[in-house]
């Protein structure tokens, strides 16, 4: 609530508790924001939880400095609040009683369906009146409206930025050659093993699913994984395998090659290409929210600095 004159600490506490009378005794001033005065009692009220925590938890030799820093933070927050309230007045932004009722009801709903009677009882326990709390809700709504009009409405996140963030954050670069494998051991007949390998290679080249072929025909343990043997770097491969694989493009199938284990066929799934961690459409809204929030915070900070630079602010 905007204060045009400083009131006494005792009177302000009485005002918060009963909201019945205006104070007449002068209270110390903590800061001046244009035509508004921030009183010491306002600072004490706003920072009470933090101050109490410092007094009970901070080491005795650090309390005074911790309190000084905490008070400075509270004063800066109050300066920002007063600037926003002044902007609301300049913009002729108003808040209706219905809007305050709606904000209160939403708060009660988020609290698990707290009733009005329970809400009022909690206010009484804290020593506040319903009217005082409505004033607080009004200030929050006003602040939100000011920021929405002055900043939020001007934030736009281009599609190309969303896609760039997706490429950077939701894709991973393969570190080598991701391979599928079908293999046949020499067994009793090396010629028979080669013949089987050539037949399966022809089936793969004709378009049949390589992983299904691996499951049905491969004689290697990788058949249980549909032939997927993972990612290999070039220097991790035997020379015959390296020559066959490194010349392939993604999707390509190697000729039958002979190794010490038997006859092999490889299919290259990817080679240093981006591999998506999640489909773009499934994370687009999440990315938009992240980028919107970042842009919003940056613009709000710049806008607030501009408002501050044109204001008379004195912190005592």
The distance between the two most distant Cα atoms of the chain, rounded to a whole number of Å, is 108
Q: Can you tell me whether residue 2 is helix, strand or coil?
A: coil
The CB density around residue 51, as the number of other CB atoms within 10 Å, is: 18
Q: pLDDT at position 172, please?
A: 61
Q: Kindly tell me if the per-residue pLDDT of 9 is higher than 70.
A: no
Phi, psi angles (nearest 5°) of residue 170: -105, 10
Instruction: Using alpha carbons, select from 151, 204, 147, 199 the residue that is nearest to residue 181.
Output: 204
* pLDDT 10s digits, 166-177: 888 777 655 688
pTM above 0.75, yes or no: no
Whether the pLDDT of residue 7 is over 60: the answer is: no
The yes-or-no verdict on residue 164 having pLDDT over 80 is yes
Q: What is the pLDDT at residue 274?
A: 54
Nearest-angstrom CA–CA distance, 287 and 279: 12
Question: Comparing 90-99, 261-270, 277-286, which segment has the lowest mean pLDDT?
Answer: 277-286
Q: At what angle do helices 280-309 and 63-90 cross, to 10 degrees?
A: 90
Measured CA to CA, the distance from residue 212 to residue 250 in angstroms comes to 18
Confidence of residue 277 (pLDDT cuts 50, 70, 90): low
Q: Which residues have CB under 8 Å from 14's CB, separation 6+?
A: 20, 21, 23
Phi and psi dihedrals of 279, rounded to 5?
-60, 145
Whether residue 145 contacts residue 95, with contact meaning beta carbons closer than 8 Å, is answered with: yes
List of residues 6+ apart from 185 with CB closer than 8 A: 193, 219, 220, 261, 262
pLDDT at position 8: 35
Alpha carbons 53 and 273: distance in angstroms, whole number: 53
Q: What is the pLDDT of residue 18?
A: 37
pLDDT above 70: residue 13: no
Instruction: Tell me the HSE value of 77 on the side-chain side, using a 13 A CA sphere.
Output: 12
Runs of H (alpha helix) within 228-279: 239-245
Taking alpha carbons only, the member of 283, 240, 282, 284 closest to residue 260 is 240
Residue 26 has pLDDT above 70, yes or no: no
| Mean pLDDT confidence for 19-25 | 37
Lowest mean pLDDT among 11-15, 95-99, 152-156, 172-176: 11-15
pLDDT at 174: 53
Segment 190-224, tens digit of pLDDT: 888 999 999 999 999 998 999 999 999 999 999 99
Domains of the chain, CATH where assigned: 1-80 (no CATH), 171-276 (3.10.50.40)
What is the pLDDT at residue 1?
42
pLDDT digit string (tens) for 227-259? Answer: 999 888 888 888 889 999 988 888 899 999 998
- Closest CA relative to residue 210, chosen from 172, 265, 171: 265
Beta strand spans in 70-176 (E): 171-173
pLDDT at 25 over 70: no
User: pLDDT-based confidence at 16, cuts 50/70/90?
Assistant: very low
151 and 87 in contact (C-beta within 8 Å)? no
Classify burial at 228, counting beta carbons within 10 Å of its beta carbon; exposed 0-12, middle 13-18, buried 19 or more.
middle
Condensed to tens digits (0 to 9), the pLDDT of residues 112-145 reads 888 888 888 888 887 778 888 899 899 999 999 9
In order of 1, 95, 96, 124, 275, the CA distances from 101 in angstroms are: 18, 11, 9, 19, 50
Q: Which element (helix H / strand E) includes 177?
A: strand 177-184
State the average pLDDT for the chain: 85
């Amino acid at each position: 609530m905007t204060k045009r004159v400083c009131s006494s600490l005792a009177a302000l506490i009485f005002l918060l508790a009963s909201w019945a009378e205006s104070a007449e005794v002068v209270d110390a001033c903590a800061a001046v924001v244009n035509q508004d005065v921030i009183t010491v009692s306002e600072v004490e009220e706003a920072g009470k939880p933090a101050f109490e925590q410092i007094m009970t938890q901070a080491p005795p030799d650090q309390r005074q400095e911790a309190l000084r820093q905490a008070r400075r933070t509270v004063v800066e927050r109050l300066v920002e609040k007063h600037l926003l309230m002044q902007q609301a007045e300049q913009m002729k932004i108003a808040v209706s009683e219905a809007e305050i009722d709606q904000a209160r009801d939403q708060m009660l709903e988020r609290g698990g369906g707290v009733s009005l009677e329970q809400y009022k009882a909690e206010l009484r326990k804290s020593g506040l009146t319903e009217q005082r709390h409505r004033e607080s809700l009004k200030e929050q709504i006003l602040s939100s409206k000011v920021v929405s009009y002055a900043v939020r409405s001007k934030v736009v996140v281009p599609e190309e930025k969303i896609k760039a963030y997706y490429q950077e954050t939701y894709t991973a670069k393969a570190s080598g050659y991701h391979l599928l494998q079908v293999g046949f051991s020499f067994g009793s007949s090396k010629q028979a093993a080669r013949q089987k390998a050539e037949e399966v290679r022809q089936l793969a080249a004709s378009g049949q699913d390589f992983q299904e072929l691996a499951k049905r025909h491969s004689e290697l343990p990788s058949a249980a994984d549909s032939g997927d043997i993972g990612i290999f770097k070039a220097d991790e491969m035997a020379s015959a395998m390296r020559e066959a694989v490194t010349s392939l493009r993604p999707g390509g199938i190697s000729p039958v090659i002979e190794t010490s284990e038997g006859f092999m066929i490889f299919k290259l799934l990817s080679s240093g290409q981006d591999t998506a961690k999640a489909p773009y459409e499934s994370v687009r809204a999440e990315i938009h929210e992240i980028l919107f929030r970042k842009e919003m915070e940056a613009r709000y900070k710049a806008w607030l600095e501009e408002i501050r630079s044109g204001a008379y602010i004195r912190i005592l």
